Homo-oligomer: A and B are copies of this chain.
Amino acid sequence: MTMFVRTPEEKVLRDPVHGYIHVQDEVIWKCINTRWFQRMRRIHQLGGAFMVYHTADHTRFAHSLGVYEIVRRMITEVPDLREALNEREKMTVMLAGLLHDIGHGPFSHAFEQVSNISHEYYTCKIIEEDPEISGILESAAEGLAKEVADVIRHKHPNTILTQIVSAQLDADRMDYLLRDAYFTGTTYGEYDLARLLRTLRVSGDRIVIKESGVYAVENYIMARYHMYWQVYYHPVARSYENLVNKLFLRLKDLMDEGKTADGAELFLPVLQGRELTLEEYYPLDEYACTYTFSLLEKAEDPILRDLSYRVLNRHLFAYRANTRGNIRSVKAALKRAGFDPRYYLVTDTVGQAPYVPYRGDSGKVIWIRTHNGDVRELSKASGLVASLVKGPKLSDDRIFYPAEIE
């Protein structure tokens, strides 16, 4: 009767955020047991924030299971979605949730900056080209691999699927806010997931929230806001990421000069800025990179050696507000101390609107359905969000440099 094979018995994985992750389909279970999926055990969920919050060692592996679980609950518990999607679409969107981060590299931002290729690109490539994963998907249903990838690249004809996995209120964010809150030990990222799910509806080709769920959405928006400023944009996290950036930059500069360092061969393909084959990309996990850094601690080049030492032993850059005066005095101090500003000075601005209102793509905003059936964009339905959208844009602008020069 069903087109997909069920597992003989439901598998459950204990998860502190969701209680349990429930797996009922063979294709899901097989994907979890692939080498690419298991590789995510070796990549932190948080780029640099595990250097601020010493318990934030949770991985993309755990997050991916969590996103899958939220998608599964959505299509099972939300009556409108249960009815709007057919069996194949349900499997497609569960797989898209499960696999959406499978192409992530180590040290996310630093790594993408040097490689110039987005993790979404590799995610789709793995889903469609890795023999193990594409094999599992194609055996389950011909054409499934491309459909899953299409959801991730926003090309699937049924846009509901994309909205479930990637929008301003999607299973990805829903999981990571709760998960990052739990593992950092902040309470800021908590919001009422159960209530959000209860108020989800489908209206035409849009996912909407019932008006009675507006407070739950506001709560979620504020959770995001607080997590950005308290965790993701924490200056110490950025300091760590900036150090890794500079380490890669130094490696690249050396490579351009024709020099190399023991262990650095792992990074060569990336530093060349070209697209990697999957077999070149696969070994690049945080365990391998960190081990390589430990080799680079003994490199000939003193800058490489120094930057590696700082990364490994958490001798992070200090930081100040990005003002002309500060830049001037830091530059002078760097000069006095003999630090090359190309590797020892970073200016870094971050900013994030708590909510981005409608700008032409209806799949990206949050829609509220009022009692009488009208659908309005969130900033028109919530006085709180209206205030936030009109308010000043928040940003944080800093410079980072070695603590020793202070």
Interface, chain A (partner B; CB < 8 A)? 12-17, 19-20, 33-35, 38, 41-42, 53-55, 57-59, 61-62, 65, 182-188, 190-192, 194, 198, 215, 218-219, 222, 225-226, 229-230, 283, 286-288, 290-291, 294, 312-315, 354, 383-384, 386-388, 390-392, 394
A194 to B185, CA, bound (A): 12
Name which residue of chain B comes closest to A194, CB basis: B19
Task: Note all chain B residues with C-beta closer than 8 A to A392.
Answer: 383, 386-387
A388 and chain B: residue at smallest CB distance: B387
- Measured CA separation A12–B213 after assembly (Å): 14
Task: Establish whether residues B54 and A62, one from each chain, have CB atoms under 8 Å apart when the complex forms.
Answer: yes
Question: Closest CB-CB distance, A77 to chain B, in whole Å?
Answer: 11
B383/A394 in contact, CB under 8 A: yes
What are 26 sample pairs from A and B whose C-beta atoms fall under 8 A apart? A12-B198, A14-B53, A14-B184, A19-B185, A19-B194, A33-B313, A35-B312, A38-B314, A54-B59, A54-B65, A55-B62, A183-B183, A187-B191, A187-B192, A188-B192, A188-B219, A215-B226, A219-B226, A287-B290, A291-B291, A354-B384, A384-B388, A386-B391, A387-B387, A387-B392, A391-B391
Smallest CB separation, A309 vs chain B (Å): 8
Q: Is the CB of B38 within 8 A of A185?
A: no
B38 touches A312 (CB 8 A): yes
Closest CB-CB distance, A299 to chain B, in whole Å? 15
Whether A186 pairs with B192 at a CB distance below 8 angstroms is yes
Interface-centre pick from A33, A57, A394 (highest chain B CB count, 10 A): A57
Residues of B near A41 (CB, < 8 A) are 54, 57
In the complex, are the beta carbons of A20 and B194 less than 8 A apart?
yes
Known: A187-B192, A194-B20, A219-B226. Contact between A55 and B15, CB under 8 A? yes
A218–B225 CA distance with the chains assembled, in angstroms:
10
CB–CB A394/B388 < 8 A: no
Closest beta carbon of chain B to A54's beta carbon, Å = 5
CA distance A183 to B215 in the complex (A): 19
- Please indicate the chain B residues that have their CB under 8 angstroms from the CB of A384 in the complex: 225, 354, 388, 391, 394
